[in-house]
Amino acid sequence: MSRLVVVSNRVAIPSDGKVSSGGLAVGLLGALEQTGGIWFGWSGDIVSGTSANAGPKIERKGEVTYATVGLSRRDYDQYYRGFSNAMLWPVFHYRNDLARYDRQEYVGYRRVNSWLAQQLIPLLEPDDIIWVHDYHLLPFADALRAAGVKNRIGFFLHIPFPSPQILLTIPPHEDLMKSLCSYDLVGFQVQSDLDAFCDYVVRIAHGTVSEDKHISAYGRTLQGGVYGIGIFPDDVAEQARRPENRKPVLELKQSLAGRKLIMSVDRLDYSKGLVERFRAFERLLETTPSLQGDVAFVQIAPPTRSDVQTYQQIRERLEYEAGRINGRFSSLNYAPIRYLNRGFDHRMLMSLFRASDVGFVTPLRDGMNLVAKEYVAAQDPDDPGVLVLSCFAGAAAEMTGALIVNPHDIAGMAEALERALSMTLPHRQARHQENIEVLRKNNLGVWRESFLRDLRACRVEEAQDDTLDTRACLTA
Ligand code: ADQ
């Protein structure tokens, strides 16, 4: 079988045989280990100009070669902090009000994509399959193609794809869409994202989309598909039951003194709906006074991208809200909100999920939201907690056993919390069972296997004109 080359903005190199973060890294590593391959991307380091020109740093671990490069300060500012996170991220999450366009940053974004492609090319073999991840790398295939690379190249978007009217607010939207059409396969988390992409192709680019999502636009042909990312639920359950987490969980339970626990875990990001969530919890205490003193809300949200201004603002806003609500409802031995602005070990988080009564996951927009899936998988099936989930998380399409809420409806979220906290055991069990079956069926292995199967089925066709290398897929 041909070798796999994974390309992502950041590379998760395992230390001491362990993969640091959540399930995605485990899933990608599993795929790389099956065929052998390369994981290529940014090391996370900012380096001086000369080091940036030194070529990738190569580390081999088993069947997998990790090839990482540093970025110069200018590249980081323009490609990562600038166009990726101050423009693409907000717009793709329907927050074009927060987006800031700078033409120089876009030039930098394309320059870094081309430079990254040049760094990868010497490592490629002719029949490698290349799998590129996420919004930082929309033009990556375009850069490879411009350098004559003919391999199959697939792209998976982890975040939502916006409807055309939103996408049009990005000045170089057409340039980006043309670039995306250089891939052979473009995958999305949910059907509505693929539909939005096809909508642009048909209405704005005047291309065509067949019933099986075979797409022709800008003189190129490609395949579109939906591949909702999953987790390995049994691994999560095992992490949640780990004996070494028993002590901290016990300490948490003791500190709760019999109170019910609502739990949320996110990166500190304005797309995650944290302010609305805090307000919904406040509304719950207001409308159900019997719960005052009887329920605690733990929000874990370590800061990310703290050098982007909108992230500094959301952090200040949340600190204000947590302080205000606690000031309003605390007593000498009770503070309703515990807002922890720091990271936790992933396995510990799974144990905390298991110890809680409600998982409160209410993003304003989210590609999938793996926290929602992990929350379900971490539960004790004999006494499971209830998932309260935003209708704007990709996960809502699958987690039909959750209580689905609109994160803009504060009163509706408060009612759902009340319902979750008072739900009888048989109802909790039935909802949990429904969710866990879906998690098993659509696990992380299914996600990566189905994407790679479809990418392998793409074949090179005769170029339709002498500058373009067009491809088609044998199966949808
Ligand atoms: P994220 O926006 O980071 O990911 P999410 O899917 O919720 O969001 O989390 C990814 C992983 O990070 C999970 O394994 C989760 O446990 C972990 N994580 C989240 N918050 C954490 C915290 N406070 N401390 C420690 N770990 C934490 C992007 C998209 C999502 C999509 C994923 C995967 O934004 O929509 O689900 O990629 O495709």
Q: Which residues pair with 446 in a beta bridge?
A: none
Are 318 and 339 spatial neighbours (Cβ–Cβ below 8 Å)? yes
Within 192-266, strands assigned E span 208-209, 214-217, 220-226, 260-265
Lowest-confidence region among 18-27, 99-108, 360-369, 371-380: 18-27
Q: Pick the residue whose CA is nearest to atom 14 on ligand 1.
A: 22
**CB distance 300 to ligand 1 below 6 Å:** yes
* pLDDT of residue 263 exceeding 80: yes
**CB distance 366 to ligand 1 below 6 Å:** yes
| 60 Cα–ligand 1 center, Å | 27
* pLDDT of residue 52 exceeding 80: no
**CB distance 158 to ligand 1 below 6 Å:** yes
Consecutive H or E run containing 437: helix 425-441
208-209 vs 214-217, strand pairing mode: antiparallel
Q: Pick the residue whose CA is nearest to atom 1 on ligand 1.
A: 369
| 127 Cα–ligand 1 center, Å | 32
> What average pLDDT does this structure show over 49-62?
82
| 22 Cα–ligand 1 center, Å | 7
Q: Which of 10, 60, 69 is nearest to 37 (CA)?
A: 60
**Residues 354, 376: Cα–Cα separation, whole Å:** 9
Residue 51, pLDDT score:
59
Residue to mutate, 8, 347, 369, 387, ligand 1, most ligand atoms under 8 Å from C-beta: 369
| 369 Cα–ligand 1 center, Å | 6
Domain ranges in the chain are 4-230+445-475, 233-441
Residue 469, pLDDT score:
43
* pLDDT of residue 308 exceeding 80: yes
> What average pLDDT does this structure show over 186-196?
98
Lowest-confidence region among 138-142, 347-351, 411-415, 467-471: 467-471
Consecutive H or E run containing 66: strand 64-71
Count of CB atoms situated within 10 Å of the CB of 323 = 12
Residue 16, pLDDT score:
63
* pLDDT of residue 318 exceeding 60: yes
**Residues 190, 185: Cα–Cα separation, whole Å:** 15
Residue 332 CB contacts under 8 Å (≥ 6 apart), including other chains:
none
Confidence of residue 476 (pLDDT cuts 50, 70, 90): very low
Same-fold call for 4-230+445-475 versus 233-441? yes
**CB distance 369 to ligand 1 below 6 Å:** yes
How far is the CA of 426 from the CAs of 31, 130, 433, 452, in angstroms? 38, 47, 10, 40
**Residues 213, 198: Cα–Cα separation, whole Å:** 8
| 424 Cα–ligand 1 center, Å | 30
| 34 Cα–ligand 1 center, Å | 25
DSSP secondary structure letter of residue 366: B
Are 152 and 174 spatial neighbours (Cβ–Cβ below 8 Å)? no
**Residues 365, 390: Cα–Cα separation, whole Å:** 8
Q: Thinking of the domain 233-441, which architecture would CATH place it in?
A: 3-Layer(aba) Sandwich (3.40)
Q: Is 16 exposed, middle or buried (0-12, 13-18, 19+ CB in 10 A)?
A: exposed
Q: Pick the residue whose CA is nearest to atom 27 on ligand 1.
A: 266
Residue 150, pLDDT score:
96
Q: Pick the residue whose CA is nearest to atom 4 on ligand 1.
A: 369
Residue given tokens 């909702």 in the structure block: 228
Residue 80 CB contacts under 8 Å (≥ 6 apart), including other chains:
9, 42, 71, 136
Residue 466, pLDDT score:
38
Higher-pLDDT residue of 225, 33: 225
Atom of ligand 1 nearest to the CA of 24: 33
Q: Which of 336, 245, 342 is nearest to 284 (CA)?
A: 336
> What average pLDDT does this structure show over 268-283?
97
Percentage of the chain exceeding pLDDT 90: 84
* pLDDT of residue 17 exceeding 70: no
| Residue range 125-162, pLDDT digits in tens | 999 999 999 999 999 999 999 999 999 999 999 999 99
Q: Which backbone phi and psi does 400 adopt, to 5 degrees? A: -70, -15
Q: Which of 260, 266, 278 is nearest to 385 (CA)?
A: 260
DSSP secondary structure letter of residue 2: P
Catalytically annotated residues = 158, 366
**Residues 267, 318: Cα–Cα separation, whole Å:** 13
Instruction: Provide the H-helix boundaries in 241-369.
Output: 246-256, 274-287, 309-329, 346-354
Confidence of residue 54 (pLDDT cuts 50, 70, 90): confident
Q: Give the mean pLDDT of the chain.
A: 93
Residue 122, pLDDT score:
97
Higher-pLDDT residue of 311, 260: 260
Count of CB atoms situated within 10 Å of the CB of 305 = 18
Confidence of residue 374 (pLDDT cuts 50, 70, 90): very high
* pLDDT of residue 463 exceeding 60: no
Q: Which of 222, 304, 281, 427 is nearest to 21 (CA)?
A: 304
The third-level CATH classification (topology) of the domain covering 4-230+445-475 is Rossmann fold (3.40.50)
**CB distance 24 to ligand 1 below 6 Å:** yes
Q: Is residue 476 helix, strand or coil?
A: coil
Confidence of residue 381 (pLDDT cuts 50, 70, 90): very high
Q: Pick the residue whose CA is nearest to atom 24 on ligand 1.
A: 343
